[in-house]
Amino acid sequence: MDPFAVAPLDHARLFAILAEAGFDGRLFNSDQHRACELLDRYALAHATELLDRLALAAHLTEARTVDELLTGAAFTPAFGRPLRWLLEYLAGAGLLAANEAGRYQLHGALPVPPREPLRAEVLGLQPSYAPALALHDEAAAIYPRVARGDASGEHLLFRRAALWFAYFSNEHGYYAINNRVAAAAAAPRLPVGGTVLEVGAGLGSATEAVLERLRATDALARLRAYRVTEPVALFRRRAERTLAAAWPDVPLAFDALDINRPWAEQGIAPGSVDLVLGVNVFHLARDLDAMLGEARGALAPGGWVVVAEGLRPAPRVPVGAELPFLILDSYVDVALDPERRPVPGFLTAEAWIAALRRAGFADVALVPDAIRMRAVHPGFFSAGVCGRRG
């Protein structure tokens, strides 16, 4: 079987589940789905090329552990997690053999990855997905430097501000899916006269999506205050400029918030907000349970948390969207648990549901129902995981 091919899909069943959650063909459709699947194959093509660019193919003619490969290739120990992910990702695609002892081996010649045809098809289907391709290209190009310890992934990737400005934008259709799903989950849970606390708002694209959703449903009057928090000053200043100009009549406030420190010490009074929203940020918490406890503490009784995240299909299954982020310390430097959180980054739907329930949230739900969707297609989906403070 060609590991770069996209398998046929029962779109009717998948889109019926999405329609039940109020999503129509403007956001989710067969072209969008195929483009997302092709992006995953594009990441696999990069991963295949990296095996040669990292000079690992020669080491893998015999079964090797990650530690043996790090030593043999003279890589920095900090590259262990990205390397393990790379090997697991290739093994999952059938391009490497892996055994229970944690050893990996090439079992034949690597196929020539069709990266440029994949790029052309993605852009033919969804031209706005160009920033996702660009981020994968940039990250793959610096993997060898990170492996050698020449510089950190943060230093090499985050100095390219224009790359991130394009990526974290609603003009970028691939990322906008996360924001539109978050808005669909969050807007109905905001009470009349309610207050919102958004954590890790980045450049404000999710904020924009929520405000647009409220305006489209004539519910913008529900909003008494919207506090936009982002610890990266460059992102926060840009978000403040763009959002304040676009939404002059909305009661926006901008601040920094370190999700890994007590929120009350940073000016978030207990019981002071009606909705806590985070889009692709909660998975960066060093202690996930502690962060969810902070979110619950910030909520008034009856308030909601909406954790909008990409969902891993199974606890340890790598997904292509991770390739650019595995070289970022902020992505991998988290507390792990073999049952609750076995790998850094994205969690499964079940893990998020369990985490919210451990934190004391009630009425925990998925928008859309990614567990039912996964039964149709075991892929990488975006969903809002919602929980209410009783």
Same domain, yes or no: 90 and 135? yes
Q: Indicate which CATH number applies to the domain containing 343.
A: 3.40.50.150
| Residue 276: predicted pLDDT | 98
Q: How far apart (Å, rounded) are the C-alpha atoms in residues 208 and 246?
A: 9
Tell me the β-bridge partners of 382.
310
Same domain, yes or no: 182 and 110? no
Same domain, yes or no: 177 and 107? no
In the chain, the amino acid numbered 333 is D
| Residue 145: predicted pLDDT | 97
**Which of the four pLDDT bands, split at 50, 70 and 90, describes residue 288?**
very high
| Residue 244: predicted pLDDT | 97
Residue range 357-384: mean pLDDT, rounded:
96
Q: Apex CA 184: angle with CA 30 and CA 382, to 5°?
A: 50
Using the predicted structure, report yes or no on whether residue 107 has a pLDDT greater than 90.
Answer: no
Q: How far apart (Å, rounded) are the C-alpha atoms in residues 35 and 1?
A: 20
The sign of the dihedral angle between the CA atoms of 273, 197, 284, 18 is positive
Cis before 131? omega within 30: no
| Contact predicate 117/99, CB 8 Å | no
| Residue 218: predicted pLDDT | 85
Same domain, yes or no: 157 and 207? no
Same domain, yes or no: 66 and 135? yes
Structure tokens at 33: 């789905």
Using the predicted structure, report yes or no on whether residue 109 has a pLDDT greater than 90.
Answer: no
Whether 167 is covered by a domain: the verdict is: no
Q: How far apart (Å, rounded) are the C-alpha atoms in residues 194 and 226?
A: 9
Please list, in sequence order, all residues whose beta carbon lies within 8 angstroms of the beta carbon of residue 57, skipping any fewer than 6 positions away. Answer: 51, 106, 110
Using the predicted structure, report yes or no on whether residue 222 has a pLDDT greater than 90.
Answer: no
Same domain, yes or no: 148 and 229? no
| Residue 116: predicted pLDDT | 97
Using the predicted structure, report yes or no on whether residue 1 has a pLDDT greater than 80.
Answer: no
Q: What is the mean pLDDT of the chain?
A: 96
Same domain, yes or no: 146 and 189? no
Whether 1 is covered by a domain: the verdict is: no
Interval 149-195: pLDDT, tens = 999 999 999 889 999 999 999 999 999 999 999 999 999 999 989 99
**Which of the four pLDDT bands, split at 50, 70 and 90, describes residue 53?**
very high
pTM of the model: 0.95
Structural domain of residue 149, as residue ranges?
A: 11-161
Q: How far apart (Å, rounded) are the C-alpha atoms in residues 198 and 215?
A: 18
Q: Apex CA 289: angle with CA 284 and CA 291, to 5°?
A: 55
3-state secondary structure of 272: coil
Whether 153 is covered by a domain: the verdict is: yes
**Which of the four pLDDT bands, split at 50, 70 and 90, describes residue 217?**
confident
Q: Domain ends where: 136, 161, 186?
A: 161
**Which of the four pLDDT bands, split at 50, 70 and 90, describes residue 242?**
very high
Same domain, yes or no: 178 and 155? no
Using the predicted structure, report yes or no on whether residue 371 has a pLDDT greater than 80.
Answer: yes
The CA-based dihedral angle spanning residues 295, 301, 307, 312, taken in that order and rounded to the nearest 10 degrees: 100
Q: Domain ends where: 140, 161, 182?
A: 161
Same domain, yes or no: 124 and 218? no
Could you give the number of structural domains in the chain?
2
